């Protein structure tokens, strides 16, 4: 029994030494040009620095470490900028360096992160999609030429509200605004309405979009511990 305990202790000491050696090697190879930040704890890194009131947690850290700080969220290194001047330089001068972003694991289903403009990495596909948007959809001339379509959608919204008030029906402002915004977008791109005011499909589509936003925004443990992605916790 004593021999077994001795072997177990020796094994634990060996694991501890290997872990310390790994952390030391990782710290020596980490980029030296990163901003200051709170020292990360083993395993959980800086996760305990954040609370449910995220803006207050970041404001508190900014008072200690300055307007640009670094947080380690397990495998993710996050740079937090709280100065109103620095984002302008990041977005205009160093935009290519900050274009790629961390893709949540929930958005990788069916390779959605490889095909959509918001999440695709900098690549020929991303550049082509951006070029199409800049040249054919969101230029000043294109937006000006489709101004009458957006005006028509606003008039239809006002007419719908007026008719509902005359007959005494309640108006779901959230659904009406969602439908109008959706038709704004589809008329600009496809010159047709996607949502009909009298159709129940608008409500169903709104619920689907809302659920997608909720699921995509939920914290996922696999984002911080990539080794767990295979078991999909």
Write the pLDDT tens digit of every residue in 67-101.
Answer: 889 998 877 788 888 888 878 777 777 777 777 77
Q: Cα–Cα distance between 102 and 219 in angstroms, integer?
A: 13
Note the helical H segments in the chain.
2-29, 54-65, 86-92, 112-115, 124-132, 140-145, 147-167, 173-190, 201-217, 221-224
> Residues 83, 116: one domain?
no
pLDDT at 4: 62
Instruction: Specify whether the backbone of 91 is left (phi greater than 0), alpha (psi in -120 to 50) or beta.
Output: alpha
Q: Cα–Cα distance between 45 and 180 in angstroms, integer?
A: 44
Beta-bridge partners for 77:
72
> Residues 183, 206: one domain?
yes
> Residues 178, 123: one domain?
no
Residue 198 predicted with pLDDT over 70: no
Domain assignment present for 227: no
> Residues 42, 87: one domain?
yes
Domain assignment present for 154: yes
Count: domains in the chain: 3
Find out whether 37 and 65 touch, Cβ atoms under 8 Å.
yes
Domain assignment present for 108: yes
Domain assignment present for 80: yes
Average pLDDT, the chain: 79
Residue-number span of the structural domain to which 195 is assigned: 147-217
Query: 72 vs 4, which has greater pLDDT?
Result: 72
Domain assignment present for 141: yes
> Residues 138, 193: one domain?
no
pLDDT at 229: 77
pLDDT tens digits for range 104-137: 887 787 777 787 777 888 888 888 988 888 888 7
pTM of the predicted protein model: 0.53
pLDDT at 134: 84
Domain assignment present for 115: yes
> Residues 84, 118: one domain?
no
């Amino acid at each position: 029994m004593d021999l077994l305990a001795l072997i177990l202790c020796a094994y634990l000491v060996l694991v501890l030494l290997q872990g310390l050696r790994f952390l030391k090697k990782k710290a020596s190879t980490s980029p030296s040009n990163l901003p200051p930040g709170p020292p990360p704890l083993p395993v959980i890194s800086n996760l305990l620095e954040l609370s449910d009131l995220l803006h207050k947690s970041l404001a508190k850290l900014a008072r200690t470490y300055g307007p640009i700080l670094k947080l380690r969220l397990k495998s993710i290194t996050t740079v937090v900028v709280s100065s109103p001047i620095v984002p302008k330089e990041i977005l205009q001068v160093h935009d290519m360096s900050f274009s790629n972003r961390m893709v949540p694991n929930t958005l990788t289903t069916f390779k959605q992160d490889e095909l959509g403009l918001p999440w695709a990495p900098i690549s020929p596909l991303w550049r082509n999609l951006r070029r199409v948007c800049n040249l054919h959809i969101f230029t000043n001339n294109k937006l000006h030429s489709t101004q009458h379509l957006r005006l028509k959608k606003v008039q239809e919204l006002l007419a719908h509200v007026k008719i509902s008030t005359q007959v005494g029906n309640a108006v779901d402002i959230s659904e009406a605004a969602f439908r109008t915004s959706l038709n704004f977008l589809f008329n600009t791109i496809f010159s047709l309405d996607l949502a009909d005011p009298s159709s129940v499909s608008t409500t169903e589509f709104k619920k689907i979009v809302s659920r997608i936003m909720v699921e995509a925004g939920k914290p996922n443990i696999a984002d911080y511990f990539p080794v767990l992605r295979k078991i999909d916790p």
